[in-house]
Chains A and B, each alone.
Chain A
Amino acid sequence: MAECHPVGFQWVMEAKARGARVIHVDPRFTRTSAMADQHVPLRAGSDIVFLGAIINYVLTNELYFHDYVLSYTNAATLVSEDFRDVDDLDGVFSGYDPQSGSYDPTSWAYEDVAEPAAAGTDRQAPAEHEESAGHATGSQGASEEGAAHVHRDETLQHPRCVLQILKRHYSRYTPEMVERMCGVSQEDFLAVCEAVTANSGRDRTTAFVYSVGWTQHTVGVQYIRGAAILQLLLGNMGRPGGGILALRGHASIQGSTDIPTLFDILPGYLPMPKAGNSDTLEDYLGRISTSSQKGFWSDARSYAVSLLKAWWGEKATADNDFCYDYLPALTGDHGTYQTVMDMIAEKVEGYFLLGQNPAVGSAHGRMQRLGMSHLKWLVVRDFNLIESATFWKEGPEIATGEMRTEDIGTEVFFFPAASHVEKDGTFTQTQRMLQWHHQAVEPPGDCRSELDFFYLLGQKVRERLADSTDERDRPLLDLTWDYDREDGRPGASADAVLREINGWELTGPDHNERGDMLSSFTQMKPDGTTAGGCWIYTGVYADGINHSASKKPGSEQSWVALEWGWSWPANRRILYNRASADPDGKPWSERKAYVWWDEEAGSWTGHDVPDFPKTKAPSFRPEPGTPGPAGLAGDDPFIMQADGKGWLYVPKGLLDGPLPAHYEPQESPVRNPFYSQQSNPTRQVFKRKDNLSNPSAGAPGSDVFPYVFTTYRLTEHHTAGGMSRWSGYLAELQPEFFCEVSPELARERGLDNGGWATIITARTAIEARVLVTDRITPLTVEGKRIHQIGLPYHWGVGGGGALVSGDSANDLLGVTLDPNVHIQESKASSCDIQPGRRPTGPALLRLVDTYRSRAGITVETSNTLRGEA
């Protein structure tokens, strides 16, 4: 965090000054480790063993927060008799189909809920995997038929209750196993366990903070799930000082999932419609929530219809399903890596790159560049002439002869971008907080903001199509496209966009005139009488005031600082904060008082905006089976979940299992000791000649790639370098690409500090300067010495005008993905390292070929989903 988020890290330092204990778990010793009370180096890719063993420690020693766990999680809920765990089935959960490499999750359901009727939603069919199903889940949380009436065992003793399943599942995750698999001593591991449990409970809370590298694994979602289980067991969710905080790679990555740049969701985590099973608005809404589930997703119709009204205005009527047909529908995986492969297959003609440099920043740089060379046109909007704009003349493949400039037909349009100080707008940070920034200066020259660019592009496209009678042009022509600046200059008003996002009442005879701004999403209507572009953001413009621009200093308001920026939903700073009070509505302790029930006033109150129906008493119990928000009991704090509880066990919604189970990375020098199943049996593999994998442990040839490498960022640079390698003041601070190795590995391979090394995988070989450092610790795993190599990924070859350049670490990576969210495994792969510089030109290809043949690599290598590597 100190490394990549130094400004945010000031708060960790403040907490530390006030007595907080900081533990840093990371393969290498970073600037964060330097400040931590304890640094725990572990083997990249072994995190579920580590987390699972803490869970086991908490359960075995009965250190979980009993009252919290019993009342606020699904620990007591009974699971179907049909469920079988990974230990029963040699590494897969029940419902696995080896043909498709995917699960039918029916058997994971809560008891009595597993009748076929549940298949009214779309995720069960094993055939889904063909279409790569992560997008099918959406992010709205799984709907759950009948979840409003589940079977519970309040004693937590029933063998099929979630807590007992959890106990059995993690019983093999012992301190000894941590030592064997993570390379962490039992002493260090137990010190972590003791710190985490001693600092959780009524009086204390523990926070987990991760950066997005934690998600970049074939089991990435399950890593986060592991932390979620632990935090629920320890009672650290919905409470001050608790939670799981995702640090994002850019200033507004939270914002770009809320109002998504992702292909599979619409604003506010509504799923994208899917061709075939959501052809009508009714079908679509049925996928989001069922009529019998609890919580706020049952109002999805209001959110969806308001969105359609915001986009298509008066054209959206009840008679035409509010233009629902205008939304594109998914026909499969359209994620970034699939899209690149589709480019190579000539299925994609054009590509917009907005502040993104995939030629350097995405896994498998060669595939990225190859894909772009098949495009007809490419728009690059950036500050500088990044490598993704120059790959066709200066990319590494030009040097090796794999591509020739004269063969590449891609027409590249470079548009200089405006920076954040040159435009108005909001950033949404990790606390879901929108912070408005004001334009300070005009953008220089031809630079323009993204907003202006797309607004004007939209205007031009609509002008071109104005006379079109083609049905397919209607969605564009019928859009409300009126965000003119108030001052009359060309371009769009960010303020007008934020107003539409917030939403307004629709008044007048046909409900097509803008009325008052909405102040809460609970005011959204299912009948087309409200409009709003992103339901969770509703309230940011309540009473016609831009609350994201609130900047009252912390010293002039409460410590929760509700008047600094605005957090969705409803300006709540901590989600699910009903859980900060006990089942009776009283604070768990004075020290951790946050939100509580005021008996006299008959309402929830506290330091934050209560995340609960305001006047619902703690003792309230609904009629069994009552759906929607009304179905929430007074002790159901997790108001977006179908049963109102925090999910230790996920009965539906994940594609790779209801509980995190340890699987080795796609490429690992270590065998999975739990079962013969080496890696995630549902990971998304791509068997292609241009995407070969190194053999994993147990397979012949794995010793050709004996080392683990992991990639990361440095404080001095930003991601793929587009903003930092062109700035002298930053470039001089880290002028060259380097690899970090331990003194022991340096001796083993003859590497000299300051010298050169060549790092080789099945994809390519790159060269880096060598930093020999004690900050990299060799680990002993399964009795074997495991060396890890650290590679910052900021450099690239060929950018126009870059002050510093170098080989790109991401060129080493292949494309193998987490099944839920299609994220690449880029933090734990295998490689070889040799002293000296790499060959250039065609000789580089020959070197890589030698390695491939030595290791016996084919397209099948490491790509068998079920079983050993």
Chain B
Amino acid sequence: MKNSLFGPLDPAPDAGWTDAPARKGFLTDTSICIGCKACEVACKEWNAIPADWSEGLTGDSYDNTSALGANTWRHVAFIEQPAAPPAPPPVDLGMPTLRPADEAAAPDGAGSQDGNKPDFRWLMSSDVCKHCTHAACLDVCPTGSLFRSEFGTVVVQDDICNGCGYCVPACPYGVIERRNGPEDAKNVGIAQKCTLCYDRLEAGNTPACAQACPTQSIQFGDVDELRERGRARVEQLQAQGVEGARLYGDDPNDGVGGTGSIFLLLDEPEVYGMPPDPVVTTRDLPDMFRKAGMAALSLAAGAALSFLGGRR
């Protein structure tokens, strides 16, 4: 039997959907994100997510919603990256040189205008549920509240969820969370996260965040096509000298089988608060079952042996 808990596959048919439409997802191109947070607001408006301003200023750049959670299904991170300190001038070792001494001693001024300048950077990135190919939250859900939609997305049914919270530590990205408040909000105690606007998708519409994004930083579409688009954009950026440009989540052979939400990042994922090598927490489940079974068998065998030994 094929191991559906790991490796590349198309999740909707794997979950039993016949005639499923092409898998849907996001490409979030952070190189053109202007940090306007229209995605956060549109998401909350459409999904009627409660607002909470009581925490006040975080002091963390322009980010006052801090992280993805039950009340923040889109989250824009603001990362202030100080300019790299200028390279120290070459140390004069007093070695013989053919160049005049003043030229040799002068620090290399080249590179200040050619895009390699270690400028201060303010990175902005709109994070969201990854809609993993292998979604641990879904695997561990005991009630069936979390399910795989025909679009290949992972959706919570708030009327079925019993708030057990197993899904919360299962997510390798820390996306899903039980709603703690505010008090008068609906679904307090229920696990909440991005549905990729399941209701809008069913009506043939674009998810609210992608619809609101003014710069097309958030693109919605078929995952296969988005991966292609993302790769082309990375090539383009790298050709322009943006060496840090890379895709995140596009590899079907990664620890979660690739994600439905892929990201174009300009630096290491850690910089954006994303795990560098996420692994679906249920990946080793079959192996664990096997090993646990082996252990049980060994135990049983040992016990049997000990009785056998006793008779001797």
Contact = CB atoms under 8 A, between A and B. Distances in A.
Interface in A131-181: none
B37 to A, nearest CB: 6
Contacts of B41: 729-730, 733
Contacts of A494: none
B53 A29 contact: no
Contacts of B124: 31, 34
Interface in B23-70: 32, 34-38, 40-41, 44-45, 50-53, 55-59, 61-62, 64-65
A735 B57 contact: yes
Contacts of B65: 732-733
Contacts of A187: 112
A804 B55 CA distance: 11
Contact of B61 (A10, A32, A732, A773): A773
A735 B34 contact: no
Interface in A708-741: 714-716, 728-736, 738
A29 B81 CA distance: 12
B59 A6 contact: no
A623 interface: no
Interface in A1-15: 2, 6-7, 9-10, 13
B52 A34 contact: no
A729 B45 contact: yes
Contacts of B53: 728, 731-732, 735, 803-804
A328 interface: no
Given A10-B216, A728-B51, A732-B65, A31 B57 contact: no
B44 to A, nearest CB: 5
Interface in A792-842: 803-804
Contacts of A9: 34, 214-215
Contact of A2 (B34, B112, B119, B216): B34
B120 A774 contact: yes
B268 interface: no
B53 to A, nearest CB: 4
A769 interface: yes
A769 B44 contact: no
Interface residues of B, number: 37
A2 B213 CA distance: 12
Interface in A774-798: 774-775
Interface string A732-753: 1111101000000000000001
B115 to A, nearest CB: 9
A736 B215 contact: no
Contacts of A732: 51-53, 64-65
Interface residues of A, number: 39
Contacts of B309: none
B76 to A, nearest CB: 9
A34 B35 contact: yes
A729 B64 contact: no
A6 B34 contact: yes
A219 interface: no
Contacts of B44: 729
B113 interface: yes
B90 interface: no
Contacts, number: 100
B121 interface: yes
A39 B120 CA distance: 10
A17 to B, nearest CB: 8
A13 B213 CA distance: 12
A323 B80 CA distance: 63
A754 B122 contact: no
B111 interface: no
Contact of B120 (A29, A714, A716, A803): A29
B85 interface: no
Among B44, B61, B65, B214, chain A packs the most CB atoms within 10 A around the CB of B214
B94 interface: no
A775 B214 contact: no
A771 interface: yes
B113 A191 contact: yes
Given A732-B65, A771-B59, A775-B122, A715 B80 contact: no
Contacts of B216: 10, 13
A734 B37 CA distance: 11
Contact of B80 (A2, A6, A733, A773): A773
Contacts of B52: 728, 732
Nearest to B51: A728
Nearest to A725: B53
27 contacts: A6-B36, A6-B215, A9-B215, A10-B214, A10-B215, A17-B32, A29-B122, A32-B34, A34-B35, A34-B123, A35-B32, A728-B51, A728-B53, A729-B45, A729-B51, A732-B65, A735-B53, A736-B56, A753-B59, A754-B58, A754-B59, A771-B61, A773-B61, A773-B80, A774-B120, A775-B120, A775-B122
Interface of A: 2, 6-7, 9-10, 13, 17, 29, 31-35, 39, 187, 191, 714-716, 728-736, 738, 753-754, 769-771, 773-775, 803-804
7 interchain residue pairs of minimum CB distance: A728-B51, A754-B59, A6-B36, A732-B53, A34-B122, A736-B57, A2-B34
